[in-house]
Amino acid sequence: MGKKFARNFFILGTAICTVVFIWLTIDTHTTIPKRTHTDQLSEEVILGKRVWHKYNCNDCHTILGIGGYYSPDVTKVYFMRGEAWLKAFLKDPESPDPKRRKMVNFHLSEDETTRLITFFKWVDGIDTNQWPPKPIGEGKIAEVESKSEPQVALGKGVFEKYRCDICHKIEGKGGMIGPELTREGSKRDALWLEQHIRDPKSHDPTTVMPPFPQITKGELNALVDYLINLK
């Protein structure tokens, strides 16, 4: 193999790959409207994206898995937390456990908060090829249904998984947004709690607590058992 052959290999190889890459790019563009439902990409969403850039959120948080790894990914945050929770959190992100990692309070205006949440709502709908993947371990919690001590421990896990502690305090640990739950078992029964977690507005239409429709039956049972035992 001579130098000339090597040079031609370089020129030809690079040219072919560039052409293929551009062809793939064009094809990708044709799929974008459907995969990212651009019909819903409203002015409000774009303004929300500008808020996202303005406060450089992306250098702490990842979105679509890209960015800083210091803080949680926000791709699915709209689905995971819901609008009410996001509003409350963005208003006062520093409130939870002082020992935990904190978010800066940017003192967003009402408009900025709404726009940012609209942006998250749009991002939530992007077809990411099922990323982030569904955890393998999640099934295990749902399988346990029997009433026993481990059930209570599981419920504590569920409490932590959905980060109830950001708003609710138990034995001195947790946030101030929602009521303290240290003696919740002596105040409410299982049915009330179950309804309230599934749909908080059924009891109090003005509550800021988000509904948790994504919680599985097994998780909900465990969580209620845990709360009932707090007396």
Range 121-150, binding another protein (CB under 8 A): 123, 126-129, 131-138
Residue placing its CB nearer to another protein in the complex, 47 or 84: 47
Nearest CA-CA partner of 220 in 184, 188, 193: 193
DSSP element (H, E) containing 11: helix 3-35
Q: Which stretch binds another protein (CB under 8 A): 44-52, 167-175, 197-205, 209-217?
A: 44-52
The least CB distance from residue 105 to another protein, in Å, is: 9
Judge whether 214 and 79 are in contact, CB under 8 Å: yes
Q: Would you call the peptide bond into 33 cis, given omega within 30 degrees of 0 as the criterion?
A: no
Would you count residue 153 as binding another protein (CB under 8 A)?
Answer: no
Using CB under 8 A as the criterion, what x/- string covers residues 188-217 for binding another protein?
------------------------------
Site string for another protein, 4-33 (x = CB under 8 A): --xx-xx--xx-xxx-xx--xx-xxx-xx-
- By C-beta, is 105 or 202 nearer to another protein? 105
Question: First CA to last CA across the chain, in angstroms?
Answer: 82
Report the residue number, 181 or 185, with the smaller CB distance to another protein: 181
As given in the structure block, the two tokens for residue 221 are 């049972």
Tokens (6 digits) for 143:
């399988």
Q: Which residues in the 75-114 window bind another protein by CB under 8 A?
A: 98-102, 104
Q: Are strands 169-170 and 66-67 parallel, antiparallel or unpaired?
A: unpaired
**Rounded to the nearest whole angstrom, what is the least distance from the CB of residue 106 to another protein in the complex?**
9
Rounded to whole angstroms, the Cα distance separating 93 from 76 reads: 18
CB of 179 to another protein, least distance (A): 21
Do 32 and 38 form a contact (C-beta atoms < 8 A)?
yes
Least distance (Å) between residue 112 CB and another protein: 13
